Amino acid sequence: MNSFKDEVISAISHEFKNPISIINGYIETILNSDLDEKTKIKFLNKIHKNTLRLSELIDRLYLITKLENKKLNPNFTKFRLDITAKNLIEGFEDRIKLISKPVTIYADKNLIEIVLQNLISNALKYSKDEVIVKIGDKVEVIDKGRGIEKKEINLIKKKFYRIAKNDWDNSLGLGLAIVEHILKLHNTSLKIESQKGKGSRFYFDITSLINKEPR
Ligand code: ADP
């Protein structure tokens, strides 16, 4: 009985196979059909989108391995978290509301961006209404989406843990494990409050990172 391992391998294979077969389909169509220029460009964009999906997947697997093996040395600098969040949110859909005051923190900017990216994209993925991002003494990402059952709340931070195991939509259950590792490097941790069917609040304390001088 190797069911968990089998399930993980099958999830990873599926997540790789899916974009590869989409890419192959478009390439074959471009090669074998007499398409006009506009359609070709449309198909090339689809190919591009799926190559990005593949490379994101590899990046996530690589990042979690590095974090787990403590091979990642964070690069701490001082930066304005509210501005970083604002810039990041501009790249997402416009149903995100940012509520923030000016906050300067001493942290690894790239890693904190990965944390925000993961929490925000989950909130968007698992809800349809407005998502609120609050930056103050805490960073909070709040959604009014599907919510999580009490017994699952602690499990979802585990690597490869997914609730809806048949939802294959870019889901490998790595996001929150990555978030938790990164927050640990910053001496803080992810808290989750959620109610099934009502929504969720993912948050972490940043008081120890605010206005700290470089070590
Ligand atoms: P994934 O890449 O599968 O989304 P995560 O580690 O980010 O992986 O999340 C693990 C699981 O936690 C998801 O499969 C989902 O079921 C659940 N989850 C995460 N964020 C939310 C949210 N905002 N609302 C409801 N469920 C969530």
**C-alpha triplet 174, 167, 114: angle, nearest 5°:** 30
The pTM (predicted TM-score) of the whole model is 0.89
Domain boundaries, the chain: 2-68, 76-205
Question: Which atom number of ligand 1 is nearest to the Cα of residue 199?
Answer: 24
pLDDT at 81: 97
User: Does residue 204 line the site of ligand 1, with CB under 6 A?
Assistant: no
User: Does residue 126 line the site of ligand 1, with CB under 6 A?
Assistant: yes
Long-range contacts of 15-22 (CB under 8 A, 24+ apart): 15/57, 15/168, 15/170, 15/171, 15/172, 16/54, 16/57, 18/168, 19/50, 19/51, 19/53, 19/54, 20/50, 20/54, 22/46, 22/50
Superfamily of domain 76-205: Histidine kinase-like ATPase, C-terminal domain (3.30.565.10)
Give yes or no on whether 2-68 and 76-205 have one common fold: no
Q: pLDDT tens digits, the chain, 215 residues: what are they?
A: 567 778 788 888 888 999 999 999 999 999 999 999 999 999 999 999 999 999 999 999 999 999 999 999 999 999 999 999 999 999 898 899 999 999 999 999 999 999 999 999 999 999 999 999 999 999 999 999 999 999 999 899 988 887 666 555 667 889 999 999 999 999 999 999 999 999 999 999 999 999 766 54
Mutate to test the pocket of ligand 1, among 53, 60, 126 (most ligand atoms within 8 A of CB): 126
In CATH terms, the fold of domain 2-68 is Helix Hairpins (1.10.287)
pLDDT at 14: 84
User: Which amino acid is residue 215, in one-letter code?
Assistant: R
What is the CA(178)–ligand 1 centre distance, in A?
12
pLDDT at 169: 61
Instruction: Answer whether 160's CB lies under 8 Å from 8's CB.
Output: yes
pLDDT at 12: 86
Say which residues have a Cβ less than 8 Å from residue 140's Cβ, sequence separation at least 6.
Answer: 132, 133, 134, 201, 202, 203
The whole-angstrom separation of Cα 86 and Cα 120 is 12
The whole-angstrom separation of Cα 58 and Cα 2 is 24
Question: Which atom number of ligand 1 is nearest to the Cα of residue 143?
Answer: 23
User: Does residue 81 line the site of ligand 1, with CB under 6 A?
Assistant: no
pLDDT at 120: 97
